[in-house]
Structures are given as C-alpha cells and as structure tokens.
Amino acid sequence: MSELDRAIYEKYIAPTEKQRELSIGVEIEMPVVNLNGEPVEEETVLEVSKAFREHFGFEVQGSDDNGNVNSMSDKQTGDNLSFDCCYSNLELSMGIGKDLGEIHDRFKKLYSFLQQQFMGHGYTLTGMGINPNYAVNYNKPVPNERYRMLYHYLHSYRKYQFEIDRRFHEFPEFGTFTSASQVQLDVRKDDLIDTINTFGLLEPYKSVLFANSYMPEYPDYLCSRNMLWERSMQGFNPHNVGMFSQKLGSIDELIEYIRSQSIYCTMRNGRYIDFEPVSVGEFFSRRTIKGEEFDGQGYKTVEFTPQESDLQYLRTFKFEDLTFRGTIEYRSSCCQPIKDVMTVSAFHTGLALKLGELKELLESDKVIYAHGYCALELQNMLSKTKLPDYIDRKAMQRQLIKILDLAKQGLDARGKNEAHYLDALYERADNLTNPAKQMLDSIKSGKALSDIITEYSLV
C-alpha cells in the first residue's frame, strides 16, 4: 500500500473498524424568509441568534470577520446552531443520539423558540429545499475564511466553462439558498461497500419521495438542488458529487475512487487557498500548486507545496458520503416541511438496519431498472416533474411501499416508537407525490406561495 493510500485508509476506512452501537446525527438546513417578500437583513438574523444563545446558554463556537457569532453549541447535548454559507440559511445540527424521538423533541424546542423570535420581525423559517425568496435575497456569503473562499471558488466557473466538458449553470451563489436534510449513520467496515452500492440504487426512489427544491428557471425539475451542485464547480470533477457511477467491488476500489476525487482548497498560515481542482493522486504527486488567497484587500496568486495534512481539505458531496467519523452522510435529500422534518432520518435509519433485504429488493428490481437505464440516469429522470412513460405507476407505488415497509421493520426492531415518522412517506408513496409537487399543485389550484411557506413552517 502506498503512503497516500495508507493516509486515505487511516482517514476514511479505519474509523469504520470500531464496533459501536448505531448513532444518529441529524442536520437540518432551513431557509430564513422575510414574509414581506423583501431581502433578509443580516442584522435581524443576528438579533434572533443572539436571543437564542442567551436563552439556551449555547457556547460560542465561531464568529465571522465582523465579530458576529455564526456557530454556537450546547455542551451537554451537542446541539449546534450555525449558518450554512449565508445568514439566510440557518442550520440546526442535532447532537449525536440513539433515539429519533429524543432528537426530534430537542429540535422542536429549539425551532419553536427561533420561530417565535423570527415571527416578531415578520420573518419565518420554513421547510423548503430552495429559499422561496432567493431571487430577492442578497445571497452573500458569511464573511469568514471558509465561505469567502467557497464563494470565490464557485464563481471561478467562468474560467473553465469553455475548457472542460461540463455545462455550468448561472447560479454560483446557489449554496446561499439551497437547504438540505442530512443524516449521518455509523457504518461498519464489513457493510461499507454494500451500503454505498445499495443506497446508490435507492437514490431514484428517494427522488420521488423527497423532492422539495423547485425553481422556475428549471421547470422540469422538482429537485433542482442536486442539479445545482452537479453543474457547479463542485461538480468540476463528477466524482466529487452525486452518485457513484459504477458499482464498487471492494475497499481497494473505494480507495482508488477517493484518489480520483479532486481537491480544490487548503489552508496556509490561517488563510484558505483555492485552486483549479486536481485529483488527489495528482495533487500529492506535484511539487507545487498555484492558487489564490484573499489577503484582506483582494485575491493574490500564491504557490505552495502539498503536504499530507492537506488531505483534510478534500471536500466531497456524494449522495452517500463516507466521512472521517466512520459514518455515511446521506446528503441528497432536500429540507422537508417542518412537520415531516424527521422523515429523512427515520427512512435512512430504518433501512440501514435492513441492508441485506434492501439490497435483495433493489438488485432484483424490474420497476425502474432493467429498462436500459442505470441508477445515475434514473436519479436525474425521477427528479423531474413527469415520471418516464415506461414506468408503471401502480408498480412504482407497490415498490415504494415495500421499501417503506423495510424501513418500518428496521425502526420497529429498535423498539423506540420511531416508525410513525414514516407516515407522511406512506402517504406520498400512495399518491406518487412529494413536497415540491404538492406545492406546484397547490399553486395551480390558486393557493398563494406565502400560504405554502407558512404551511411548510408548521411543526
């Protein structure tokens, strides 16, 4: 094993060798919306977050360049409030837990306080994967090293739009207005490859259940959020985003895949440097790398020598993303209506415990597979407003119910009264619908978007 492969193994694979009881990490990103239809003002959000910190006694974890607190945590529970990319995208990361009900109770307590504060300013949080006011918001990054670098990097796509075979969209600031519902689950080394492969096959079905990021600019998509990631600089190298394009056969193949992913940033002397994405293998074979850093006034060209510690800055956004914590982070689901906020976590938790049965069900699937399309193509097709004509709607409903039944069995086996979090998904499966489709149907029937924003904000 090469020195680089050993470093990759120690970072990503070794943590999965530890025997642990299943732990769950829930992360909910939510749009902040000005109900007057005007831009979200940073001062208002900071005032609410200050009141939150004082009320709950959260400890400061991070501040922006102006001294404003942008990350805070409860030292007992591990719950964290932060702002993802900008101050109009608030994230509640719940401390690692064993019981979805307990996690949900803590979330509701924190969310309810935030809502009370925001409503006093004519604002709301809501459960949508796209901020409905993205077209009027300022969509500026949190002023700190990380998000300044990311904003600069994403806007660099214009350098490459005619040089590589990638079609970029025109929303490089998309990270400021897209919101996800993510869950991290412990994974054992023996299950690692099956977990990535099986949940990859599941992705098209997830698109049908969880799509919640409609944009008028992309009227064919009910889930535009994933497309925004893939057709940005984050997708400069397709291996950094979305699905694994091929079935993995072993840990060695996974390590090779990680070698093929691209690094685009690192830090030197407390400053981020971003540069043209280069594969991990090539990055560590180069003598020097040339990039850009912000010196307080503007961006300047710098040159540096790669070192092993740069591996920590490999940032990938796979739908099934292996982390350094020995977990798989499931990243493809949009933020859900708040009353259904635990559906994503319950769905993945239950199915992770029925991995063998789920693998068998999906590998023998004839409803969407065996018609000439692979999982990668199907995920894109089933993210759209119209299901492909070849798919039998009744068969699709039955297969979704079978998948949900497996998730329910997995949750029931835990004995923690968690299966009720799947109820909304059974309803969606019965009607082949999802929050984005329900929103469009409501608008077509005459309901105002403002009413839907409020509806999707209710606990």
The verdict on 152 and 275 lying in the same domain is no
The verdict on 308 and 391 lying in the same domain is no
The verdict on residue 212 lying in a domain is yes
pLDDT for res 73:
98
The verdict on residue 318 lying in a domain is no
Orientation of helix 100-119 relative to helix 343-352, angle to 10°: 160
The verdict on 244 and 272 lying in the same domain is no
CA angle 453, 454, 459 (to 5 degrees): 115
* Residue 250 · residue 13 · CB < 8 Å: no
Instruction: Give the residue from 120, 137, 166, 141 showing the smallest Cα distance to 66.
Output: 141
The verdict on 162 and 199 lying in the same domain is yes
Instruction: Give the residue from 245, 180, 177, 186 showing the smallest Cα distance to 210.
Output: 180
The verdict on residue 428 lying in a domain is yes
Q: The domain spanning residue 216 has which CATH number?
A: 3.30.590.20
pLDDT in tens, the chain (459 residues): 899 999 999 999 999 999 888 999 999 999 999 999 999 999 999 999 999 999 999 999 999 999 999 999 999 999 999 999 999 999 999 999 999 999 999 999 999 999 999 999 999 999 999 999 999 999 999 999 999 999 999 999 999 977 766 789 999 999 999 999 999 999 999 999 999 999 999 999 999 999 999 999 999 999 999 999 999 999 999 999 999 988 999 999 999 999 999 999 999 999 999 999 999 999 999 999 999 999 999 999 999 999 999 999 999 999 999 999 999 999 999 999 999 999 999 999 999 999 999 999 999 999 999 999 999 999 999 999 999 999 999 999 999 999 999 999 999 999 999 999 999 999 999 999 999 999 999 999 999 999 999 999 999
The verdict on residue 339 lying in a domain is yes
> Domain containing 284: what range?
262-313
In whole angstroms, give the CA distance from residue 211 to residue 332: 9
The verdict on 163 and 214 lying in the same domain is yes
The verdict on 112 and 246 lying in the same domain is yes
pLDDT for res 162:
74
Q: Give the end of a domain, one of 313, 338, 356.
A: 313
The verdict on 412 and 277 lying in the same domain is no
Q: Give the end of a domain, one of 246, 280, 313.
A: 313
pLDDT for res 161:
78
The verdict on residue 353 lying in a domain is yes
The verdict on 284 and 391 lying in the same domain is no
The verdict on 281 and 427 lying in the same domain is no
In whole angstroms, give the CA distance from residue 321 to residue 334: 16
The verdict on residue 329 lying in a domain is yes
Which residues, at least 6 apart from 185, have a Cβ–Cβ distance to it below 8 Å? Answer: 22, 23, 24, 25, 327, 328, 330, 348, 349, 352
pLDDT for res 21:
85
Per DSSP, the three-state class of 170 is: coil
pLDDT for res 1:
82
The verdict on 111 and 216 lying in the same domain is yes
Q: For residues 47-63, b (16+ Cβ closer than 10 Å) or e, as one string?
A: ebbeebeeeeebeeebe
How many structural domains compose the chain? 2
The verdict on 293 and 244 lying in the same domain is no
Q: Give the end of a domain, one of 313, 334, 353.
A: 313
* Residue 91 · residue 81 · CB < 8 Å: yes
Per DSSP, the three-state class of 158 is: helix
The verdict on 350 and 407 lying in the same domain is yes
Q: For residues 331-347, b (16+ Cβ closer than 10 Å) or e, as one string?
A: bbbbbbbbebbbbbbbb
Alpha helices in 266-392 (DSSP H): 280-283, 343-352, 355-363, 375-381
The verdict on residue 370 lying in a domain is yes
The verdict on residue 14 lying in a domain is yes
